[in-house]
Structure formats: structure tokens, C-alpha cells
Chain A
Amino acid sequence: MKSIRRILVANRGEIAVRIIRTCKEMGLETIAVYSEADRCSLHTQIADECYFLGGAPASESYLNIDKIISVGREARCDAIHPGYGFLSENPEFAEAVSRNGITFVGPPASAIRAMGDKTRAREVARSVGAPVVPGFDELPEHEEELARLAGGLGYPVLVKAVAGGGGKGIRIVDSERELSSALRAARSEAKSAFGDERIYMEKYLRSPCHIEIQILADGHGNVVHLGERECSIQRRHQKIIEESPSVHVTQALRDSMSRLAVLIAKSCGYVSAGTVEFLLDESHNFYFLEVNTRLQVEHPVTEMVTGIDMVKQQLRIAQGERLDLVQDEIRSRGHAIESRIYAEDPFNSFFPSTGRLARLRPGLGPGIREDCGVEEGSEITVHYDPLISKLIVWSKTREGAIARMKRALQEYQVSGVETTIPFCLYVLEHPEFASGRYDTSFVEKHFQNNVLEFEADLSVVAAVASTCFAEWRKRTSSAVLPMANGRTSSRWKSKRLDMYEWNY
């Protein structure tokens, strides 16, 4: 396989920036692509070259296979890294890249296809002895028969798109009465989202923990695992705080989950970085959920505890090298936590919050990594995922990591949009999180919309600050106007042009 010298990153935002950074450190020439909305985005600024794709909607730019391939050919790149989201798990894209003589940094299309089909993935898992969530991969046409199967599993059940992902084409069914309408809705959503209306059914686990195992596989049959990530803190079924190691995973559990994850990777011919997801119930039974055939958003958590640069490993693997990692030498050290800072309003059902980032001042310092794809002045638009930044902390202990993350989030200042920072702080300060007694139902159990408002311990300071601000605005706005009656703003002495102080 030819070595990679020029690499195109077919993505945007923080993940494009993160990939470009490692590529530059490896001495590669980096090529960014951008849509109409991203002309000035950070990823285009730091890449060695950048090329225009098309309009702001992803379908015209970051999801446009033909356009990306033609830019790749024009730019004479050796490899394309898809990042996460967009085309990263699209087997046709992986095939198109290879067909054009370009190396795809990721698994072979066959592995993406096998794992993208949720029922085939369940079959692979079963074949290596991994427990799967009880359910039925094929559903009967007949409604009575279907109701009998669902009743046998016991409500609630989940109906899910076989080609699913991203929370689309899924319905929770609480009783037989809802079954046929839920199935109809899931079918239609699956058809429009994935062009595949096949649905399967499984038992709905009420409040499991979400645990995933990171694996790395080379093209020579070597597979290692890099331990687990705990991703149970979710809102709208999407992860928001992740940590490693998990407080819920014993060494025995870790050993059996990771052994199965490696077997699953081997039996589907997996190459590159991948993640095997499991659900863990209260009685410590675990079930295979799915395989994500890409770099995950939360991969830095694993990088912080293992010291392994996952993007670098992906690139080495993509150019045909053997893994230079030996399982026994991979050690997880200390504790890492990631908080995702989204432009969403936690005071208002996590609705996306768009606007210009008037201020963006990260909380940094020892043991902290920030993966950010925007800068002060950047615009958060409706077109893409509203992720502003990922803050990842490391410390020797979990307590230390929680304290460090709280400190960093308290220092982090954003204005212009609402963010998930107050929500992340709420979780980190919650006794159930600190004690590790939490699962995927945390938000439902402990977080109501008004919870943030009543937590207002610094409301006196906020009230005083707003009063000072109002007075200050009166003064400064009149200071720029001609003064009446010889009154001046001298009581507000300017220290510098942009610095004012109280001075009556």
C-alpha cells in the first residue's frame, strides 16, 4: 500500500481541526474542504490547502460524494479521512474513494456494510458468543403474530430501523395498543432517512448504562482494545458527558466485554479504529448494541488515559503498517472526562441556539485538552451539528477529574448563544454522579427544565452585576454624546480607552 503524503479531510468543525493537527505533526500535507457557510471556518484556516465544495446544506457539500471525490482527484490527495458523521459510515463513499485510487482512512466498505445492518451485526455478535438484547430480527407481516412476539418479550419494546442510526427510525412501544402505529411511524422514518424500511424489534431496557469498547485493528489480522468509555449521561438519546474508566465496570466485566469486542472485530474483517457498544443492566448483565465503524466524538477520553493518538494509528493502519501496540503494554492510567459544549439551550429543552459567538474564552490549564472547531466571532448556523467544543480533562483519580472539569467549566466563558455548560456543571455537581449511581435515565430522573433556575446560588451577585451594568451603560452611552449643562462623565474615569472603573 502506498504511503500517505497528502490527505484530504472530508469534514468540518472540531473533528476536521483535530485530524488536521495530527496530520501536520506527522508531516503530511493537509487539504480541507468547505461549504458556502464555512469559508472562514477554523478548519479551512489551519489546513495547508482548502477547496470549495458547494452550498451550505450538507447534501450539497459534506454529503456530496461526487464533489468530494472530484476535489480529491484535483488536489491529488493520497488519502481521505471522513471524520465522524456525514459520509464516515457510508460504504458507497468508502468504495468510491478506493475506486479512484485514493486510500480511505477507515474500515473496508464490507465491514461498514455488515455493521451498518443492525440485524447482521447482531448475528455476528451472537456468532462469537456475545449476548444481544432479546428480540426478533425479522418481523412477521401478520399483526396478531407480531403482538404475540412483543407480548412474549414483555413491554416496553423497541422497534428499530435495521439500517438505523442517529436516533432515527426508533420508537418505544409501551403497550400492544401502540404497536402498529409505532411500527408504521418507524417504517416511514426509516424509509425517508435510510431508504430502507426494514424494522426489527427488541426488548427495551429501561435504564441501562451505555458502555463502549474502543478497538484498533490493522490489515494484518491484529486487533487490540483500548478499554472502555462510559457514555450514560445523555440528553435526547445523545451523549454529552463521557468518562473512562467506567465506575460501573469491574475488571472481570472489562475483560469479557473487550474480549468479545475484539472477536466481533475479527469476525467481520474490521480494520482501523472502531467502537463496540454495549448496554449494561442493574444486575451487571451486558448486551451487545452495535458497532460504530468510525472515529467517535468521544475518542479523546481514551487518548487521555492510554496516551495513544487514535488518528495517528488510523493513518498508520491505512498505509498498511502493522499495529505497533501490544495488548499487554496498553495501560489505562488515571481518569479522563469529556464534556461536550453544544450551542443548545438547557433552560429550554436543549433547543439549538444559533448566533454569533460574541465571546469564546475557554477554561484551560493543567490536565485539560480542548478540541474546538470555532473561534470568537464564528457563526453557529442551522446547517450543522451545534457542537462548539469538547473539553477533556485528565487527573489521577475520578474525584480529581471531576474537580478539574468543574473548575474548567466555571472558567469557560461563551456569549452570543446559549450552551450546555450550565447543564454539564449541574451533572458534575450532582451527588448521584459523584457517587457513580447513574445510568442513561439520569436526565429524565434528575433534570427538569427549571432545575437550573432554582440552583441560582450566585443570584445576588448576578442582580448586582446587572444593576452596575445598567448604570454603566447609562454613563458610557451619554459619554459619547455632547454633554448638557457642562455635566461630564468624569465620575467614570477611563483608565484606558476600553477600561472603566467606579470612581465617584
Chain B
Amino acid sequence: MSKYFGTVGEHTYEMEIVAAERITVDKKEYLLDFRAIDSDVFTISLDSKNYRTLIEVGDGESVRVRLLGRTYNVHLQDELHRRLQPARDRDSSARARGEIRAPMPGLVVGVSVRVGDRVQPGSLLLILEAMKMENEIHSLHEGIVAKVLVQKGSAVEKGEVLLTFR
């Protein structure tokens, strides 16, 4: 069976399904029973401890696992994808630093920067109104605003690029 690497928070678990109903996690072996109730509803039992869970595909390579009222975003890769990772990291982090995307759908009620402005981490970039609340969008990095793709009154979708930096 193929190996998987699942990262939760700062720890990466190395997993391998070694036989029917057996899995190793970081070399330690567990008894496993995994059953689908529906395409997103599962029960999982590890060494006879039983859990109800909802599982969805998240963004990118993440899998969203909901367990006992908690949400775990597991970044999951098989061996092949793990080997390709370093190159893709360089690529995506460069892209992520270069733009700001809408964290939720909403209405732009104010833009605080102009093309050419220098911003610091924490600088207010714009204000997005959603569900009666005004949400301030701040910069995560230092940079210079290259493009402002929205203006006051623009309705935006989640994930839409709002600003780019150079």
C-alpha cells in the first residue's frame, strides 16, 4: 500500500496501511476499522476507540476532518506528491505573497491603499462588509501595492483577488 504524509499543525505523521485493518503511524501499529455511512460521514475506530466524523476535501491538498466538535485541517500527501513538494512550495509562496484574496464573499465598503503605497504587516488594506459586519483586511507582509482590483461598492466572491503587490 502507498504511504501517506498527513500534517496537522506542526507535526507530520507518516502513515501506511500495512494490512487489512492495520495502519502504522510513525512506525507504531494500530488496529483500524473505517466505515462510510455516506460520502462525507464516517466512523473510524483506532485500537478499538471509536469516533464519528465528517470529512470533506478542503483547499489544495488539505482534508477537513471534523471530530468531537473540533475541526482538523490535515495537509495530506502521498509519496509522489511529497517528493514534488519543495518546488511547488517556492512557487505558491511567491504567489501568496504577491496578492490579497477575499477571505469571504462580501461588499467592499472602503479601500485604504492606492497603487504605489508601501504597506507593512498589519497595515489596513480594505474593509469588506459581510453579514452586517465590517471586516478589516490587513496585510500579512511588507510590500508595495501594484494593482487595486476592486473599489468601494464592489461585490466580491470568496477567493477573489483584491490587491496585488510587487
Residues of A within 8 A of B (CB): 166, 236, 347-349, 351-354, 358-359, 382-386, 409-415, 418, 421-422, 425, 452-456, 458-472, 476, 498-504
Contact A354 B104 (CB under 8 A): yes
What CA separation (Å) do A499 and B51 show in the bound complex? 16
Residue B76 lies at the interface, judged by CB distance under 8 Å to chain A: yes
If over half of A's interface residues share one DSSP class (helix, strand or loop), that class is named, otherwise mixed; here it is mixed
Q: With a CB–CB cut-off of 8 A, which chain B residues contact A385?
A: 131-132
Contact A383 B74 (CB under 8 A): no
What CA separation (Å) do A501 and B36 show in the bound complex? 7
Chosen A-B contacts, 15 in total, with CB atoms closer than 8 Å, are A382-B130, A409-B69, A412-B69, A413-B54, A456-B9, A458-B70, A459-B9, A460-B25, A463-B76, A464-B15, A465-B65, A466-B63, A467-B23, A470-B76, A471-B17
What CA separation (Å) do A453 and B11 show in the bound complex? 11
Residue B87 lies at the interface, judged by CB distance under 8 Å to chain A: no
* A472, closest chain B residue (CB): B36
Contact A502 B21 (CB under 8 A): yes
Q: Which of B6, B30, B36, B78 contacts A500 (CB 8 A)?
A: B36
Residue B41 lies at the interface, judged by CB distance under 8 Å to chain A: yes
Contact B105 A504 (CB under 8 A): no
Given contacts A351-B104, A456-B8, A500-B36, contact A465 B42 (CB under 8 A): yes
* A424, closest chain B residue (CB): B69
Q: Which of B9, B32, B135 contacts A468 (CB 8 A)?
A: B32
Q: With a CB–CB cut-off of 8 A, which chain B residues contact A500?
A: 35-36
Q: With a CB–CB cut-off of 8 A, which chain B residues contact A347?
A: 71
What CA separation (Å) do A422 and B66 show in the bound complex? 10
Q: With a CB–CB cut-off of 8 A, which chain B residues contact A461?
A: 44, 46, 51, 67
Contact B76 A383 (CB under 8 A): no
Q: Which of B8, B51, B103, B106 contacts A382 (CB 8 A)?
A: B106
Q: With a CB–CB cut-off of 8 A, which chain B residues contact A236?
A: 133
What CA separation (Å) do A452 and B63 show in the bound complex? 17
Contact B105 A354 (CB under 8 A): yes
Given contacts A352-B104, A459-B11, A499-B37, contact A464 B32 (CB under 8 A): yes
Q: With a CB–CB cut-off of 8 A, which chain B residues contact A425?
A: 69-70
What CA separation (Å) do A359 and B42 show in the bound complex? 12
B23-58 residues with Cβ-Cβ distance < 8 A to A are 23, 25, 30, 32-42, 44, 46, 51-56
Residue B158 lies at the interface, judged by CB distance under 8 Å to chain A: yes
* A415, closest chain B residue (CB): B54
What CA separation (Å) do A384 and B66 show in the bound complex? 26
Q: With a CB–CB cut-off of 8 A, which chain B residues contact A456?
A: 8-9, 70, 72
Q: With a CB–CB cut-off of 8 A, which chain A residues contact B25?
A: 460, 463-464
Contact B34 A422 (CB under 8 A): no
Contact A384 B131 (CB under 8 A): yes
Contact B35 A502 (CB under 8 A): yes
Interface magnitude class on chain B: 35 or more
Given contacts A351-B135, A383-B131, A458-B67, contact A463 B13 (CB under 8 A): yes
Q: Which of A353, A382, A453, A466 contacts B55 (CB 8 A)?
A: A466
CB distance from B107 to the nearest CB of A (A): 8
What CA separation (Å) do A358 and B30 show in the bound complex? 31
Residue B94 lies at the interface, judged by CB distance under 8 Å to chain A: no
Residue B84 lies at the interface, judged by CB distance under 8 Å to chain A: no
Given contacts A348-B103, A351-B104, A504-B21, contact A410 B68 (CB under 8 A): yes
Told that A347-B71, A465-B42 touch, could you supply 15 new A-B pairs with CB distance under 8 A?
A349-B135, A352-B131, A352-B133, A354-B105, A415-B54, A415-B66, A456-B9, A459-B72, A465-B44, A467-B17, A468-B42, A471-B1, A476-B39, A501-B35, A502-B35
Q: Which of B38, B42, B104 contacts A469 (CB 8 A)?
A: B42
Residue B165 lies at the interface, judged by CB distance under 8 Å to chain A: no
Given contacts A454-B9, A468-B32, A499-B36, contact A463 B74 (CB under 8 A): yes
Q: With a CB–CB cut-off of 8 A, which chain A residues contact B52?
A: 411, 413
Given contacts A359-B40, A359-B41, contact A463 B15 (CB under 8 A): yes
Most B CB atoms within 10 A — which of A383, A425, A466?
Answer: A466
Q: With a CB–CB cut-off of 8 A, which chain B residues contact A166?
A: 132
What CA separation (Å) do A504 and B54 show in the bound complex? 23
CB distance from A407 to the nearest CB of B (A): 10
What CA separation (Å) do A383 and B107 show in the bound complex? 11
Q: With a CB–CB cut-off of 8 A, which chain B residues contact A454?
A: 9
Contact B55 A498 (CB under 8 A): no
Contact B33 A466 (CB under 8 A): no
Interface string of B4-23 (1 = CB under 8 A from A): 10101101010101011101
CB distance from B97 to the nearest CB of A (A): 18
Contact B37 A498 (CB under 8 A): yes
Q: With a CB–CB cut-off of 8 A, which chain B residues contact A383?
A: 131
Closest 4 CB pairs of A and B: A504-B20, A463-B6, A462-B72, A459-B8
What CA separation (Å) do A207 and B66 show in the bound complex? 34
Contact B70 A465 (CB under 8 A): no
Q: With a CB–CB cut-off of 8 A, which chain B residues contact A415?
A: 40, 54, 56, 64, 66
CB distance from A190 to the nearest CB of B (A): 14
Most B CB atoms within 10 A — which of A347, A385, A453, A464?
Answer: A464
Contact A467 B20 (CB under 8 A): no
Given contacts A415-B56, A421-B69, A425-B69, contact A502 B33 (CB under 8 A): yes
* B52, closest chain A residue (CB): A413
* A460, closest chain B residue (CB): B25
* B51, closest chain A residue (CB): A461
